Chains A and B, each alone.
Chain A
C-alpha cells in the first residue's frame, strides 16, 4: 500500500504540473496571437516562447505519467520515495534553468535544438550551456526515477515475466498484470532514450569546449536528437495508457483486464519498434540511406498500430453493451483514447513517405501531436489527477461541473486543433512567427485557434482549482485518511 509520503509528493507533482500547464497554454495562446498578427513580438521572442513551451510541455506530461504509474505501482510492489523526491527536485531545477536560459538568456533554438543551432550563438553566450544543462539535470532526475522503478519491478517479477513472455505459451501459470507489462516496456524505452539524450549532450559539450578541435557529424546529431525527442514524446503516452489499463475497468465497476498473448505481443512490438520509428524524422535527409527511411516507416506502423489496436479493443469491449459506471475519470479516459487514436491516425498519414513529401514541416505536424497530447495524454493524466484527488476527500460532490468542463475541453480542444489541421492541409509551414503573404488564411486561422485555446484554458483552470484544492488538503493533512 502507498504511504502518506507518497500521497503528499503525488499531490505536489499534480499541483506543479497543472500550474505549469496553465502558464504553458498562455504561452501557446500568445504564439497563436502573434501568428495571427494581433500581437507583434520580435521573432526571437516568439521562438523563446516556442522553445519554452515545447520542452516544458514534454517535461510536465512526462512527469505526470510517471507520477501516475509510481502511485499505482505501490499496489503491486514497493517503490523508492527517494528516487521520486530526487526526480522532483531535479525537474523543478531543470525547468528553472530552462526558463532562465530562454527568457533571460534569450535562447530560442526550439525544443529539438537541432544541431548546429545551439552552437550558433544568437543569444547570451551562457544561455547555450544553461539550456543544455537544464536537459541534463532533468534527464538525470528522470533516469534515476525510471531505473529505480524498473529495479523494483525486477525484484518482484523476473525479466521474462515482467515482459509477459509466458503468455506466448498455452495456459500460462503466472499472470503478468497489464499495468506491470506496459510500465516495464515503457520504462525500458524511457531509459534508452534518456541515455540517448546523455550521449547527445556529451557530443555537444565536446564540440562546445574543444574550440574547433572536435566537430560533430550533423547527421549523427539529428539522429540522436530524434532518438531522444521522438521516443520520449511517445513513451510518455504509454505511461498514460498503463494508468488506463489499471483504472478504467476499476472505476467503471468492471473486472480487471488481463494480459493475453495478443496484449503481450502488441506491447513487446512497441518496445522494439518505438526505438527505430524516429527515422521518419529524417525522410528529408537525403544522405540517410533509403533503407533507414523504409525502416522508419515500417517501425512507425509497428510501434503504434498493434498497441492502439489492443487498447481500443479492450476499451470498446469494456463499454459496449455493458452496464458501466460512467464518471468524470472514465469519461476523460474514454475521450482521451479517442483523441489518441485520431492524433495517431494523423501521425500515420504523415509518417507514410509519399504523404510526408507534402506534409513535412507543415502545421499538420503540430496538428497531430497536439491531438494526442492536448486531447489524449493530457486527459489520461487529468483523469488520474481527478481520481487520485477524490480518494482522500470527505466531500462527495466530485462530479460537479463535469458537463461544463468536458464541453469546454472538447469545444476548445477541437477548434484549436482544427486550425492546425486546416493549416497543414493547406501546406502552411510550422514554426513560423509570422506567415508570409502567400498564406492569406494563416493569420485568421491562428486568431481562431487562440480563441478556442482560451476556451480549453477555461476548462483547465476549473480542473486546476478543483483538483489543487483537494491536493493541497492532502499535502497539508496530518492524518492517514
Chain B
C-alpha cells in the first residue's frame, strides 16, 4: 500500500513537471518597467511660452506623454497621426492632456511649434508640445532608451506613450502604435480608474503560474503552479514518512 502511494506521487510529480516550464526570456517589451514610480520632474519649455515642470503640469490634469523627435524619418510621424486620430472623436477630453516631448537635444521650441502646426494641433488646448533640458533623467525615469545611429543620423527608438497621473506616478506605458481600446485603458489608468492588464514576460521572473506567449496569445501552465502544489506534496510525504517510521519502530519494539 505504502509503496503504491509513493509510486503514484513520483509519477504524478513527473507528469506535472512535463506540463510546466520556465518563462522564456524577455521579448524586449518593457511596458511593465517603472510602473508606479515617480516620473522625473523635468523643466519644460512649452510651445505656448510657459515654463512649467512636468509635475506642475500633471497636478492640474493627468498627462499622456509621447516621446518623439522632429527630425524623425521613421515612426514618430505615423505614431502622432495615429494618436491624434484615436483621440479626435473622444468627447471627454477634460480629464487628461497630451504632452508631445522631444527627446532630441537639437530640437527647439520653434521646431515643436512647427510640428504642432503640421499636425493641425497648434490651437488644440489638450495638446502641448515641449522640449526639455532634463531629457536624460526623464528618459531614465520612464525607462525610455533611444540609441543614436550615426550612419542613418537617426535615433533608434520605440514609439512610447507614458501615462502619468495627477500625483506624478507612471500608471501605464504603451509601446508601439496601439489601438483605441489600449489607449482607453491608458486614459483610465491616469485617472486612477482600475484597468486590467496582463503581465508581460520578464527574464528575472522564473516562477510564473502561467506563461503567456504573445505570438500565439495562449497561456500555458508555468513552474509557479508546481510551487502551489508543493506544500501539499511535502505534507503528504511527511505524513507517509512519519506513518511509516512510527509503524516500523512499533513493529521492531
Interface positions of A (Cβ within 8 A of B): 120, 147, 150-151, 154-155, 158-159, 188, 191-193, 195-196, 199, 203, 212-220, 223-224, 227, 275, 286-289
Contacts and interface: CB of A to CB of B under 8 A. Distances in A.
A154 B242 contact: yes
Contacts of A192: 231-232, 235
30 contacts: A147-B242, A150-B242, A151-B242, A154-B242, A154-B246, A155-B246, A155-B250, A158-B247, A159-B239, A188-B239, A191-B238, A192-B231, A195-B234, A212-B204, A214-B204, A214-B205, A214-B206, A216-B205, A217-B205, A217-B222, A218-B199, A219-B199, A219-B208, A220-B224, A220-B227, A220-B228, A223-B209, A275-B232, A286-B196, A287-B199
A289 B219 contact: yes
B207 to A, nearest CB: 6
Q: Which 10 A-B pairs have the closest CB atoms?
A: A220-B224, A195-B231, A196-B231, A217-B208, A192-B235, A159-B243, A215-B204, A215-B205, A219-B209, A155-B246
B228 A188 contact: no
Interface of B: 36, 196, 198-199, 202, 204-210, 219, 222, 224, 227-228, 230-232, 234-235, 238-240, 242-243, 246-247, 250
B210 A287 contact: yes
Contacts of A155: 246, 250
Contacts of A212: 204
Contacts of A220: 207-209, 224, 227-228
A215 B202 contact: yes
A213 B204 contact: yes
Contacts of B234: 195
Contacts of A287: 198-199, 210, 219
A117 to B, nearest CB: 11
A301 B184 CA distance: 39
Give the most central of A147, A192, A214: most B CB within 10 Å. A192
Nearest to B219: A289
Contacts of B247: 154, 158
A339 to B, nearest CB: 30
Nearest to B197: A287
A219 B211 CA distance: 11
A227 B225 CA distance: 12
Contacts of B202: 215
Contact of B231 (A158, A159, A199): A199
Nearest to A116: B36
Given A191-B238, A199-B227, A287-B198, A217 B207 contact: yes
A193 B209 CA distance: 18
Given A147-B242, A213-B204, A219-B199, 6 more contacts: A151-B246, A159-B243, A191-B235, A192-B235, A195-B234, A224-B227
A147 B246 CA distance: 13
B249 to A, nearest CB: 8
A154 B230 CA distance: 23
A422 B202 CA distance: 44
A120 B207 CA distance: 20
A215 B196 CA distance: 20
A195 B228 CA distance: 11
A220 B231 CA distance: 13
A213 B202 CA distance: 11
Nearest to B203: A215
Contacts of A120: 36
A435 B231 CA distance: 39
A331 B161 CA distance: 65
Nearest to A221: B224
A286 B210 CA distance: 12
A174 to B, nearest CB: 15
Contacts of B206: 214
B75 to A, nearest CB: 29
B69 to A, nearest CB: 30
A219 B223 CA distance: 12
Contacts of A196: 231
Contact of B228 (A154, A193, A223): A223
A217 B209 contact: yes
Give the most central of B196, B207, B239: most A CB within 10 Å. B239
Nearest to B32: A215
Contacts of B36: 120
A216 B199 CA distance: 11
Contact of A150 (B224, B230, B239): B239
B250 to A, nearest CB: 7
A289 B240 CA distance: 32
B235 A188 contact: yes
Contacts of A191: 235, 238
Nearest to B1: A160
A199 B242 CA distance: 21
B3 to A, nearest CB: 14
A147 B238 contact: yes
A289 B218 CA distance: 11
A304 B218 CA distance: 35
Nearest to A150: B242
Contacts of A213: 204
A6 B100 CA distance: 73
A227 B231 CA distance: 10
A196 B235 CA distance: 10
A227 B235 contact: no
A193 to B, nearest CB: 7
Contacts of B230: 195, 199
Given A192-B235, A195-B235, A287-B198, A219 B210 contact: yes
Contacts of A215: 202, 204-205
Given A155-B246, A188-B239, A289-B219, A193 B231 contact: yes
